[in-house]
């Protein structure tokens, strides 16, 4: 387990060639139960990086490890050259200020209106006046197609709208890295496709690096530049690369089976 220095958090945006996030020898476990072991991959700047795999294989758990909500059993997560896993809370918070997260159900704060949800990060981490915060919150909501819904509470809007509002909150501080946990889960195909387009647009306009946890094949092929495939049975990653190339060239039967929706059954024995 090597340690590449403990310097202050660097904005990955500044260094265009180095990977933004590096996951090194990561093992994730709940007590004695190992979810995934020996994960090694890098996420390059500007990529839409897909974390894929069957249900319950540990995709969301991997995301939680990458944003510090769970601690690895062994191994580490690096943001640029900064060792996130070994950092203390203050240093982590500095890194995370550059990160936006969309949780599975949106995770909007239910006691606040949409404008307050989006405005909270702005109020806490900028010196903007209240009216300015309101303007920016309206702008972010407009970007995700929720213009005019500023004063609605999360319980008053649909699931798809909650997800979009969650994205507006995630991009409130113009982060350079965005995490999306199952963005299209529970959405109809059209909303799901619109969300994919939104993700690509955000990547292009914000210049952000996007990490998407999903098992929706349509999304994976549509937006993925790079990916890692987690296998529940062997408890480790069994493929990395561009999803479309994996679809065409991968020889691993488990990967093929997943990417072809089970149409190509693995050879018996």
| Residue with tokens 């990916």, as numbered in its chain | 227
Pick the closer one to another protein by CB: 110 or 251. 110
Pick the closer one to another protein by CB: 80 or 121. 121
For residues 173 and 58, give the distance between their C-alpha atoms in angstroms, rounded to a whole number.
Answer: 28
Is there a contact between 104 and 55 (Cβ–Cβ < 8 Å)? no
111 binds another protein (CB under 8 A): yes
67 binds another protein (CB under 8 A): yes
SS3 217: helix
Q: How far is the CB of 169 from another protein (least distance, A)?
A: 8
110 binds another protein (CB under 8 A): yes
Q: How far is the CB of 137 from another protein (least distance, A)?
A: 14
Q: Which residues pair with 261 in a beta bridge?
A: none
Q: How far is the CB of 76 from another protein (least distance, A)?
A: 18
SS3 assignment for 6-30 = CCCCCCHHHCCCCCCEEEEEEEEEE
* Helices 130-143, 114-125: inter-axial angle, 10-degree rounding: 120
Q: Which residues pair with 36 in a beta bridge?
A: 28
Q: Could you give the string, one character per residue 89-108, with x where binding to another protein holds by CB under 8 A and - elsewhere?
A: ----xx-xx-x-x-xxx-xx
Q: How far is the CB of 69 from another protein (least distance, A)?
A: 5
128 binds another protein (CB under 8 A): no
For another protein, the binding residues (CB under 8 A) are 64, 67-69, 93-94, 96-97, 99, 101, 103-105, 107-111, 120-121, 124-125, 169
């Amino acid at each position: 387990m090597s340690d590449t220095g403990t310097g202050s958090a660097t904005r990955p945006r500044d260094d265009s060639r180095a990977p933004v996030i590096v996951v090194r020898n990561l093992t994730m476990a709940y007590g004695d139960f190992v979810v995934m072991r020996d994960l090694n991959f890098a996420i390059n700047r500007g990529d839409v990086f897909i974390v894929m795999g069957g249900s319950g294989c540990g995709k969301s758990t991997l995301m939680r490890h990458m944003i510090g909500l769970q601690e690895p059993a062994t191994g580490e997560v690096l943001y640029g050259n900064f060792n996130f896993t070994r950092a203390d809370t203050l240093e982590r918070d500095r890194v995370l200020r550059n990160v936006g997260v969309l949780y599975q159900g949106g995770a909007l704060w239910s006691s606040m209106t949409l404008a307050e949800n989006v405005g909270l990060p702005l109020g806490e981490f900028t010196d903007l006046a209240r009216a300015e915060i309101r303007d920016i919150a309206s702008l972010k909501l407009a970007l995700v197609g929720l213009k005019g819904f500023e004063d609605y509470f999360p319980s008053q809007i649909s699931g798809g709208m909650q997800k979009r509002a969650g994205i507006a909150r995630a991009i409130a501080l113009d982060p350079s890295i965005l995490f999306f946990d199952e963005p299209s889960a529970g959405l109809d195909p059209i909303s799901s496709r619109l969300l994919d387009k939104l993700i690509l647009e955000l990547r292009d306009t914000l210049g952000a690096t996007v990490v998407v946890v999903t098992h929706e094949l349509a999304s994976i092929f549509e937006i993925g530049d790079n990916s890692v495939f987690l296998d529940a049975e062997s408890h480790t990653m069994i493929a990395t690369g561009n999803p479309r190339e994996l679809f065409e060239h991968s020889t691993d039967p488990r990967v093929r089976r997943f990417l072809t929706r089970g149409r190509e059954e693995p050879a018996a024995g």
